[in-house]
């Protein structure tokens, strides 16, 4: 078991999401940055879909009540085990009583903690990803006790260095495809969308990232239709909204762009005030 | 009837199939039939079929390198769609309490529309609504069939919290909030039943193509039903109808 001594700013359990329930209006959810969450699991020789803790902006303080191996991946929040710094993207052995904590946010916005065998919290509709209205618990709070497999048999020889794609944190390019309504935009609107820099507004969360710069808009709303994580919607007032993992299943705003899956992961590590540029990928 | 469909990629693993951009029962039936043909063919790589008013999103468990192949396969499946004149759907009877305690916007609508509250309730509960699809919130039914005299614009400032079960009108649509949520619709009543149960094998009782009616109940009936729902023993009334 792992005890939450302090949850950090906003921490949830996530896996790769809830698949097959969109027709009931259930969001996909899942790790915002699936690249980093999967990396943490693979370094521990877990399944890619094993549940991890996603920590946003500031890290949690956690105490281990059994021996296991852990791996921290994603944003660099200065992870420490018993006050001693540990490396990201490495398998680290922990024993009963050890305390994992985090410090300064150096890079990125969301960090992931994987444990050997994954967190064994409540599974609903094939997923442990927390979402209000679907799971009973929707965010970690102080004194939560998270089940893990104790005495998990692990090999600790998996110490080879994993090469992490440096561009994942550095790039401001967000790779996109044309959305279903892209061609309804005027040539000028298309140019503005693809050539300007956009700033992430303070309205950014697991559901959506709003962008600060408006795009002059004269498009009518569409008949409510499917949206996905990574869909970029254009509101009547010209606001651009990039939908993220907890987004609704359908929407009525024109869908002007669709992020490449890897671009959703890149955007998930950015926060208020950071700038991005959409880079059109013409080939699917 | 065969419609002219368009196929567009949406993301790297979904294909968006679109029917003409209108809200129409024939289109709904065609979407349901196409969905059934795809389901019958049990294509393992398809992990999600999500329909809306005039669209069907088909999601695969792999990144499509070649959309043309998948589209070709879908076009061939669409040819197998047959008109289903004998379709049986379910009519669900949804109890709704229109008491002023819940229907906080009834008074305002009554003034604006110059209709008595009784008349609004009568018109709202007389219609048979068609379920077009589920979206917006888990278990939120998009319904068609609201009496034109009850079309009321959304509130200019949405409420921060609309209660679970709230029955509301937004523009030309009516619906029930399956969980508490911010929202801009005008609230006229509340239903004590559950529209979404994450722990049930099938989390929603209704599906696209079903019909629903709202049955007015008193405050005390509301409390009774609520008690039965909370105890997990309430049986929602329904009957089969030929669509």
| pLDDT value, residue B85 | 62
Measured between CA atoms, the residue of chain A closest to residue B23 is A223
Task: Flag if A248 and B55 touch (Cβ within 8 Å).
Answer: no
CA distance A100 to A83: 8
Q: Does B23 touch chain A (CB under 8 A)?
A: yes
Please indicate, yes or no, whether residues A105 and A187 belong to a single structural domain of this protein: no
A261: nearest CB among B11, B52, B137? B11
Query: Is the pLDDT confidence value at B20 over 70?
Result: yes
Residue A250 sits in which domain range?
A: 171-280
> Could you tell me if B167 and B195 are in contact, meaning their C-beta atoms sit under 8 angstroms apart?
no
With CB atoms and an 8 Å threshold, state whether B10 touches A180.
yes
End residue of a domain, out of B15, B43, B78: B78
- Any idea what the CATH number is for the domain that residue B190 is in? 2.40.100.10
Q: Which of B27, B52, B78 is the last residue of a domain?
A: B78
DSSP codes of every residue in B15-56: EEEE--SS--HHHHHHHHHHHHHHHHTT-TTEEEEEE-SSEE
Predicted pLDDT at A152? 63
What are the backbone angles phi and psi of residue B175, rounded to the nearest 5°? -170, 175
What is the CATH number for A198?
Answer: 2.40.100.10
Q: Same structural domain for residues A107 and A43?
A: yes
A26 and A136 together in one domain:
yes
Residues A140 and A178 in one domain: no
Identify all chain B residues contacting A223, using CB atoms and an 8 Å cutoff: 21-23, 52-54
pLDDT at A208: 97
Are A15 and A99 members of one domain? yes
pLDDT at B185 over 60: yes
Contact status, residue B53 vs residue B142, Cβ threshold 8 Å: yes
**Model pLDDT, residue B241:** 83
* Chain B residues in contact with A25 (beta carbon < 8 A): 134-140, 196, 204
Confidence check: pLDDT of B186 > 80: yes
Asked, for residue A163, whether it belongs to a domain, the answer is no
Residues A185 and A130 in one domain: no
Residue A183 lies in a domain: yes
Averaged pLDDT for residues B150-171: 91
Whether B138 sits inside 8 A of A25 (CB atoms) is yes
Q: Locate the chain B residue with the closest alpha carbon to A251.
A: B136
pLDDT of residue A156: 56
Res A220: pLDDT: 82
Tell me, what's the pLDDT at B89?
A: 86
Residues A175 and A269 in one domain: yes
Predicted TM-score (pTM) of this structure: 0.94
pLDDT at A54: 98
Q: What angle do CA B120, B121, B126 make, to 5 degrees?
A: 105
- Give how many domains chain A has, as a whole number: 2
* Domain span holding position B141: 88-242
What pLDDT band is residue B65 in, cutting at 50, 70 and 90? confident
Q: For chain B, what is the mean pLDDT? A: 93
* Interchain pair A222, B50: CB under 8 A: no
pLDDT the model gives residue B209: 94
B62 is a domain residue: yes
pLDDT tens readout for residues B36-57 = 999 999 888 999 999 999 999 9
Interface contact A224-B52, CB threshold 8 A: yes
Predicted confidence band at B191 (pLDDT cuts at 50, 70, 90)?
very high
Give how far B147 is from chain A: nearest CA, Å. 19
Q: In terms of domains, do A102 and A65 share one?
A: yes
Confidence of residue B183 (pLDDT cuts 50, 70, 90): confident
Provide the CATH number for the domain around residue B67. Answer: 3.30.1360.40
For residue A164, being part of any structural domain is answered with no
Query: Out of A23-27, B181-185, B205-209, B231-235, which region has the weakest mean confidence (pLDDT)?
Result: B181-185
- Does residue B243 have a pLDDT over 70? no
Q: Average pLDDT per run of 10 along chain A, which is 284 residues long?
A: 97 97 97 97 95 98 96 97 96 96 97 97 97 94 94 59 85 96 95 96 96 90 94 93 97 95 98 97 72
Query: Are A14 and A123 in the same domain?
Result: yes
The count of other CB atoms within 10 Å of the CB of residue A197 is 11
* Percent of chain B topping pLDDT 70: 98
A269 belongs to a structural domain: yes
Look at residue B211 and tell me whether its pLDDT is greater than 70. Answer: yes
Please answer yes or no on whether A20 and B47 come within 8 Å at the CB atom: yes
pLDDT of residue A283: 67
Q: Do B48 and A19 touch (CB under 8 A)?
A: yes
Tally of domains in chain B: 2
Q: Would B83 be classed as within a structural domain?
A: no
3-state SS of A204-244 is ECCCEEEECCCCCCCCCCCCCEECCCCEEEECCCCCEEEEC
For residue B204, the chain A residue with the least C-alpha distance is A24
Q: In what order do the strands lie in the sheet with B6-9?
A: B6-9, B14-18, B55-60, B46-51
The predicted pLDDT at position A163 comes to: 80
The residue in chain A having the minimum alpha-carbon distance to the alpha carbon of residue B56 is: A226
Between chains, do A25 and B139 touch, taking CB under 8 Å as contact?
yes
Which of B48, B63, B138 has its CB closest to that of A134?
Answer: B138
Q: In this structure, are B108 and B209 located in the same domain?
A: yes
The dihedral over CA atoms of B198, B202, B204, B209, expressed in degrees to the nearest 10, equals 160
| Beta pairing class for A173-178 and A255-259 | antiparallel
What is the structure's pLDDT at A186? Answer: 95
pLDDT at B156: 79
Question: B134 to chain A: which residues are within 8 Å by CB?
Answer: 23-25, 249
For residues B27 and B95, state if they share a domain. Answer: no
Please check whether residues A6 and A140 belong to one and the same domain.
Answer: yes
Question: Which residues face A152 on adjacent strands?
Answer: none
User: Could B137 and A133 be called an inter-chain contact, meaning their C-beta atoms sit closer than 8 Å?
Assistant: yes
């Amino acid at each position: 078991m792992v005890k939450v001594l302090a949850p950090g700013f906003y921490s949830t359990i996530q896996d790769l999401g809830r698949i097959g329930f969109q027709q009931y209006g259930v969001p996909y959810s899942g790790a915002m940055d699936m690249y980093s969450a999967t990396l943490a699991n693979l370094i521990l020789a877990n399944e890619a879909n094993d549940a991890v803790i996603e920590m946003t902006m500031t890290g949690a303080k956690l105490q281990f009540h059994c021996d296991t191996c852990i791996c921290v991946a994603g944003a660099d929040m200065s992870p420490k085990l018993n006050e001693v710094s540990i490396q990201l993207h490495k398998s680290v052995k922990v024993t009963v009583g050890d305390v994992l904590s985090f410090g300064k946010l150096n890079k990125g916005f969301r960090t992931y903690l994987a444990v050997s065998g994954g967190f064994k919290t409540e599974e609903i509709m094939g997923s442990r990803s927390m979402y209000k209205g679907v799971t009973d618990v929707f965010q970690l709070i102080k004194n939560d006790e998270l089940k893990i497999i104790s005495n998990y048999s692990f090999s600790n020889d998996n110490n080879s260095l994993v090469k992490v794609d440096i561009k994942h944190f550095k790039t401001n390019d967000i790779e996109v495809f044309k959305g279903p309504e892209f061609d309804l935009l005027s040539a000028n609107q298309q140019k503005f969308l693809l050539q300007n820099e956009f700033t992430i507004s303070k309205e950014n969360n697991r559901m959506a990232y709003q962008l600060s710069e408006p795009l002059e808009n004269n498009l009518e709303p569409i008949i409510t239709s499917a949206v996905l994580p990574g869909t970029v919607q254009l509101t009547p007032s010209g606001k651009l909204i990039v939908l993220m993992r907890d987004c609704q299943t359908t929407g009525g705003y024109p869908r002007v762009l669709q992020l490449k899956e890897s671009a959703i992961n890149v955007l998930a590590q950015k926060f208020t005030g950071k700038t991005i540029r959409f880079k059109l990928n013409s080939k699917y | 009837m065969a419609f002219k469909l368009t196929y567009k990629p949406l993301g790297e693993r979904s294909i968006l199939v679109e029917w003409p951009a209108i809200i129409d029962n024939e289109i709904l039936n065609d979407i349901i039939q196409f969905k059934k043909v795809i389901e019958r063919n049990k294509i393992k790589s398809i992990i999600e079929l999500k329909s809306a008013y005039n669209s069907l999103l088909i999601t695969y468990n792999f990144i499509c390198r070649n959309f043309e192949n998948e589209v070709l396969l879908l076009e061939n499946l669409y040819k197998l769609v047959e008109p289903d004149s004998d379709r049986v759907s379910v009519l669900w009877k949804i109890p709704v309490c229109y008491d002023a305690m819940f229907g906080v916007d009834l008074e305002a609508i009554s003034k604006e529309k110059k209709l008595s509250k009784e008349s609004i309730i009568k018109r709202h509960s007389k219609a048979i609504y068609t379920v077009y699809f589920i979206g917006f919130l888990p278990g939120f039914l998009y319904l068609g069939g609201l009496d034109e005299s009850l079309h009321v614009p959304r509130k200019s400032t949405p409420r921060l919290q609309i209660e679970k079960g709230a029955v509301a009108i937004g523009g030309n649509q009516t619906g029930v909030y399956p969980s508490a949520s911010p929202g801009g619709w005008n609230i006229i009543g509340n239903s004590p039943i559950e529209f979404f149960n994450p722990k049930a094998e099938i989390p929603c009782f209704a599906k696209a193509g079903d019909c629903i009616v709202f049955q007015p109940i008193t405050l005390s009936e509301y409390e009774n039903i609520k008690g039965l729902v909370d105890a997990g023993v309430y049986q929602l009334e329904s009957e089969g109808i030929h669509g």
